[in-house]
């Protein structure tokens, strides 16, 4: 087992919109505390709260701001009652000032619909009517500077698939940071890729193959460059939703490592459990639990090094609904 790379041994640094932790920083002097974020994810994440509007000196309470499309077809962040009060440049400069601590994060949870922090579908106003096609000024800068960083809105965490996907990416990039902290090496990159092979296969088998070719062609001379390319494409692949079909293929692949160990009735039970997952009668945790049971009885070195069946702490219960 990879105990030295176990992300459960320490809290993971995660950026977050301050209002989601109950800080009264909103324009009306209120907050938007999020119970799941604070009490469940807070057991595993070390939250780094930040409010760009407060950081540029806007008071609490304050006049609200919004995204505005001007006559030049530019999207600007302005006061709701005076479009000449433009805060865009100050917000962008403030975002750039945060790069040092942002670079150490493993994820970010932002406030939906916010003209500064909204990740998508933020209202953009003009002289006719608003359209939900904007990205908050701060969030846009964050995405541009750190395209590999897992970013999610608190509202979307209510979707079990999106929640699982975000948290899996957070733990994956945390393992990447630990790998780099231990010293970048060709052998380390090979091991990292091998331990995430099955996870990649469940998300995007094509990306798994391409990343494998990249790793195979990595030498000491191109290690740093290839590692940067690997991280970007690795996180992009994980962002794609793992389909039930891909999960079944991976489960059957794992089953192959037990075919010479299981008795006929155990093998039949396992295959039936995988089939029950395929047709939607049981969640993913059921075949995963059974596989873990069998590998405790019949250990396999490759499976023990894989993160597929233990991508995050069990108590998060993320596989119970997928």
Of 284, 270, 272, 275, nearest in space to 320 by CA: 284
* pLDDT score of 317: 86
Residue 1 belongs to a domain: no
Last residue of a domain, one of 121, 138, 157: 157
- 148 with 21, same domain: the answer is yes
Considering the domain architecture, whether residues 124 and 185 belong to the same structural domain is answered as no
Of 157, 182, 214, the last residue of a domain is 157
The DSSP result for 198-239, as a single string, is: HHHHHH-HHHHHHHHHHHHT--TTTHHHHHHHHHHHHHHHHH
Q: Which DSSP letter does residue 176 get?
A: H
pLDDT lower than 70: segments of the chain: 1-9
Tally of structural domains, the chain: 2
Amino acid 9: pLDDT? 52
Q: Where are the alpha helices (DSSP H) in 63-159?
A: 88-97, 99-102, 137-145
My answer on whether 265 and 247 are in the same domain is yes
List, for residues 157-213, the tens digit of each pLDDT value.
999 999 999 999 999 999 999 999 999 999 999 999 999 999 999 999 999 999 999
- Residues 170, 126, single domain; the answer is no
Same domain, 132 and 235: no
Looking at the domain assignment, is residue 4 inside a domain? no
Q: Which domain-ending residue is among 102, 135, 157? A: 157
Pair (106, 186) in one structural domain: no
On whether both 115 and 224 belong to a single domain, the answer is no
Q: Is residue 5 part of a domain?
A: no
- Residues 292 and 165 grouped into a single domain: yes
One domain for residues 185 and 103: no
Strands (E), the chain: 12-17, 45-50, 65-69, 75-79, 82-86, 108-110, 122-125, 131-134, 151-153
Do both 44 and 138 map to the same domain?
Answer: yes
Q: 6 lies in a domain?
A: no
In a domain, 239, yes or no: yes
What predicted TM-score, i.e. pTM, was given to this entire model?
A: 0.93
- Residue numbers of the domain that contains 255: 161-322
The reply to whether 193 and 111 lie within a common domain is no
Is 2 within a domain? no
Domain shared by 322 and 267, yes or no: yes
């Amino acid at each position: 087992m990879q105990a030295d790379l176990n992300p459960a041994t320490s809290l993971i640094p995660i950026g977050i919109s301050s209002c989601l932790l109950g800080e009264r920083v909103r324009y009306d002097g209120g907050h938007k505390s999020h119970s799941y974020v604070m009490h469940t994810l807070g057991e595993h994440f070390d939250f780094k709260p930040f409010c760009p509007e407060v950081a540029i000196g806007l008071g609490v309470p304050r006049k609200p701001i919004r995204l505005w499309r001007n006559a030049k077809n530019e999207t600007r962040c302005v006061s709701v009652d005076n479009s000449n009060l433009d805060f865009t440049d100050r917000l962008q400069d403030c975002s750039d000032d945060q790069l040092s601590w942002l670079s150490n994060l493993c994820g970010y949870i932002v406030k939906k619909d916010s003209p500064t922090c909204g990740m998508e579908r933020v209202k953009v106003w003009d002289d006719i009517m608003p359209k939900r096609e904007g990205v908050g000024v701060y969030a846009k800068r964050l995405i541009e500077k750190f395209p590999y960083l897992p970013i999610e809105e608190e509202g979307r965490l209510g979707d079990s698939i999106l929640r699982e996907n975000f948290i899996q990416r957070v733990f994956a990039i945390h393992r990447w940071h630990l790998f780099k902290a231990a010293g970048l090496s060709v052998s380390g990159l090979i091991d990292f890729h091998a331990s995430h092979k099955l996870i990649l296969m469940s998300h995007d088998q094509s990306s798994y193959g391409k990343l494998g070719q990249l790793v195979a062609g990595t030498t000491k001379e191109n290690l740093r460059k290839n590692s940067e390319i690997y991280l970007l494409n690795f996180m992009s692949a994980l962002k794609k939703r793992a389909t039930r079909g891909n999960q079944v293929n991976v489960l059957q692949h794992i089953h192959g490592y037990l075919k010479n160990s299981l008795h006929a009735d155990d093998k039949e039970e396992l295959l039936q459990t995988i089939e029950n997952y395929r047709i939607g009668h049981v969640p993913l945790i059921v075949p995963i639990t059974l596989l873990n049971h069998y590998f405790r009885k019949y250990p396999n070195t490759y499976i023990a090094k894989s993160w597929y069946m233990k991508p995050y702490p069990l108590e998060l219960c993320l596989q119970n609904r997928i």
